[in-house]
A and B are shown apart, each in its own frame.
Chain A
Amino acid sequence: MRVREHVADMCAGPEGGHLGGAYSATEVLTALYGDVMTVDPARPTAPERDRFVLSKGHAAVGLYAILAESGFLPVEELREYGQPGSRLMGHPVRAVPGVEAATGSLGHGLALGCGFALAARLDGRSSKAFVLMGDGELQEGSVWEAAIGAASLGLENLVAVVDRNSLQLTGPTNEIAAMEPLAERWRSFGWAVREADGHDVGELVRNLGSTPWEPGRPSLLIARTVKGHGVPFLAGQVASHYVTLSERKHTRVRSVLRNAPVSHNTGKDEAR
């Protein structure tokens, strides 16, 4: 898996991209598409599939990379990201195989996931709905409408992940808006909550692959992550939020990723 390389290449294009939030979510995406979710790139709209919503739609470059590596779209197409006429826009749209919902405006994904989960239950399908949210995104009130709704309906086939990289566009989330105690907040809303190292694919797979953790409750995983993870001079930097890599920086990023692969304990393909 070469998710981070693909993201770097896309962010070296003329338009740049949201590299930091894609790198913080790389292992979550790897766990979901590599092990946890039932999806088939040959049948991207199969009714029995699990459904994934990238509610933090700005991490589109990460989603495109994992979809390409998983066989939903040609790897070569990633070169078209952001180019005139391409379907690979700065935020994902449904025209891209494997994309269930157009996202980008924050605070929409959890309600969509609730709808997917309720439909599966009504249909008697065992499908699950997975929603990846940013931590800054939790400042949107609509997230909490959906949180109440999911718990009230007992949607145990709904799994949400918070990419807790603790940074948003202009600074630390906790300084911009009070976020903690995050796990307690979600528990108090009626969710089963766990926390995990968001860069340990093995730990993510163990958790995300064993839902529901409590019968009758939706599951929320707080994935502790680092924005820009994998590249030391970008990691933990607010400036990694949106990056247009110069040729020199692109070369450096590729060199770092090649020479110091991120460790994941996957026992499977490395998600560099």
Chain B
Amino acid sequence: MTTTPAPAATRHAYRDRLMPLLQQDPRLICLDTDTGLFSPDDIAAAGDQYVNLGIAEHNLMGMAAGLAACGRMPFVNTMAAFASARALEAVELDIAYPALPVRIMATHGGLAAGHLGPTHHALADLSAMRTLPTMTVVVPADAAATEAVVEQSLDLPGPLYVRLGRKATPAIDTGEPMIIGRAQLLRRGTDVVLVGCGPYPVAACAEAAQLLSECGISATVLNMHTLRPLDTETLLAATAQASLVVTVEEHWRSGGLGGAVCEALCEERPTRVVRIAMPEKFADIAGGHEYLLDHYGISAARTAATVCAALDADAPNTP
């Protein structure tokens, strides 16, 4: 009998997996922007493979590019909001254009910054990053997946953007190994395909599928953790019989998971897609991560109700 791992923060999982790798692989270097993610003990153990550059995200990306061009593999740390907006030009021109192996470890993705507000929310980062040629974009669903991404990144050519969270999030039972670029099939159904990206959206899809099964609707659930390259093959296989696809993500409605799925399906096999995402507005209230997700409708209940409405079925009873 297996036990479900305790909730854990993906950013901490990244840190704790990176630390021993720094000792083993002299190519690796950790560039920080005073995030406070690393303890004094971590920093001491990393020696000259850890550099705190201060609060300077453009310099972070440019220096990482220079180091990568000289054979290093930098892991750079900042919040997703700053990596994807303030520093975006350096990411595009200095890292993505020359296809350098910089690992952009972006914490506080989506609404994870909670009450800290819209300046610290990252709701367009996936859109910005997945349009960059050469960039790989991954959102691990939990701590274990994050560790796998860190390990696999050592053999990944080109740049990588990893959206991480802030506080602990639940472990997701995916049943399949986490492999960058390959979507995970969590559940097989026939009526609807629920596609999630990120810890809470994937959990919402899984929970919604359970709710739907109670009212006779059979749902497939996919964890589309990699947005670039998008696993179109698995998506098409999963949607072969379904008349409806619902995407769930922690991102503005445009350009993220929903956008990527729509692009792929409308070219390959047009299928109705309904996108559950952050409404196109800036958060207008305080609240923790889970409170905001619920407030803006990124939830299992909303997902299930959306499916029922779209399939003209009765909505399940939800608390």
A116 touches B70 (CB 8 A): yes
Q: Interface centre among B48, B63, B68, B94, by most A CB within 10 Å?
A: B63
CB < 8 Å neighbour of A111 from B63, B72, B97: B63
A108 touches B94 (CB 8 A): yes
Tell me the minimal C-beta distance from B159 to chain A in angstroms. 14
Tell me the minimal C-beta distance from B91 to chain A in angstroms. 11
B54 touches A148 (CB 8 A): yes
CB < 8 Å neighbour of B63 from A47, A107, A114: A114
Q: How many A-B residue pairs lie within 8 Å, measured between CB atoms?
A: 96
CB < 8 Å neighbour of B62 from A94, A112, A123, A148: A112
Segment of A12-20, A59-67, A98-106, A167-175 engaged in the interface with chain B: A98-106
Tell me the minimal C-beta distance from B71 to chain A in angstroms. 7
A119 touching B59 in the complex, CB below 8 Å, given contacts A105-B93, A111-B66, A113-B66: no
B58 touches A149 (CB 8 A): no
B58 touches A145 (CB 8 A): yes
| Bound complex: CA A114 to CA B62 (Å) | 8
B265 within 8 A of A: no
Q: Interface centre among A100, A105, A111, A148, by most B CB within 10 Å?
A: A111
CB < 8 Å neighbour of A115 from B56, B62, B93: B62
Q: How would residues 52 to 95 of chain B score, 1 for a CB under 8 Å from any chain A CB and 0 otherwise?
A: 01101011011111111111100000000000000001100110
Interface size on A, residues (CB 8 A): 30
CB < 8 Å neighbour of B98 from A101, A111, A123: A101
Residues of A within 8 A of B53 (CB): 149, 152
| Bound complex: CA A120 to CA B63 (Å) | 12
B69 touches A115 (CB 8 A): yes
B65 touches A112 (CB 8 A): yes
A116 touches B93 (CB 8 A): no
A116 touches B66 (CB 8 A): yes
A122 touching B72 in the complex, CB below 8 Å, given contacts A111-B58, A116-B66, A142-B59: yes
A146 within 8 A of B: yes
B51 within 8 A of A: yes
Residue of A nearest to B87 (CB): A142
Q: Which of B22-41 contact A (CB under 8 A)?
A: 29
A118 touches B54 (CB 8 A): no
Residue of A nearest to B97 (CB): A102
| Bound complex: CA A113 to CA B94 (Å) | 12
| Bound complex: CA A139 to CA B265 (Å) | 46
Residues of B within 8 A of A114 (CB): 59, 62-63, 66
A115 touches B65 (CB 8 A): yes
Q: Interface centre among A47, A105, A123, A142, by most B CB within 10 Å?
A: A142
A142 touches B58 (CB 8 A): yes
B94 touches A101 (CB 8 A): yes
| Bound complex: CA A12 to CA B212 (Å) | 70
A148 touching B56 in the complex, CB below 8 Å, given contacts A112-B65, A115-B65, A123-B70: yes
Residue of A nearest to B48 (CB): A122
A153 within 8 A of B: yes
| Bound complex: CA A95 to CA B59 (Å) | 24
B63 touches A115 (CB 8 A): yes
| Bound complex: CA A149 to CA B58 (Å) | 11
Residues of B within 8 A of A118 (CB): 51, 63, 66-67
Tell me the minimal C-beta distance from A96 to chain B in angstroms. 13
Residues of A within 8 A of B90 (CB): 108, 111, 142
Q: How would residues 233 to 270 of chain A score, 1 for a CB under 8 Å from any chain B CB and 0 otherwise?
A: 00000000000000000000000000000000000000
Residues of B within 8 A of A101 (CB): 65-66, 69, 94, 98
Residues of A within 8 A of B70 (CB): 47, 115-116, 119-120, 123
CB < 8 Å neighbour of B59 from A100, A105, A145: A145
A102 touching B98 in the complex, CB below 8 Å, given contacts A119-B67, A119-B72, A122-B48: yes
| Bound complex: CA A119 to CA B28 (Å) | 11
Residues of B within 8 A of A111 (CB): 58-59, 61-63, 65-66, 90, 94
Residues of A within 8 A of B71 (CB): 47, 119, 123
Residues of A within 8 A of B65 (CB): 101, 111-112, 115
B66 touches A115 (CB 8 A): yes
A146 touches B59 (CB 8 A): yes
Q: Which of B124-165 contact A (CB under 8 A)?
A: none
| Bound complex: CA A152 to CA B59 (Å) | 13
Residues of B within 8 A of A112 (CB): 62-63, 65-66, 69, 94
B66 touches A119 (CB 8 A): yes
Residues of B within 8 A of A141 (CB): 58
Return 9 A-B CB contacts under 8 Å, by A number.
Answer: A47-B70, A101-B98, A111-B62, A115-B66, A123-B71, A142-B59, A142-B62, A146-B56, A153-B51
Of all A-B residue pairs in the complex, the 5 with the closest CB atoms, nearest first, are A115-B66, A111-B62, A119-B70, A145-B56, A145-B59
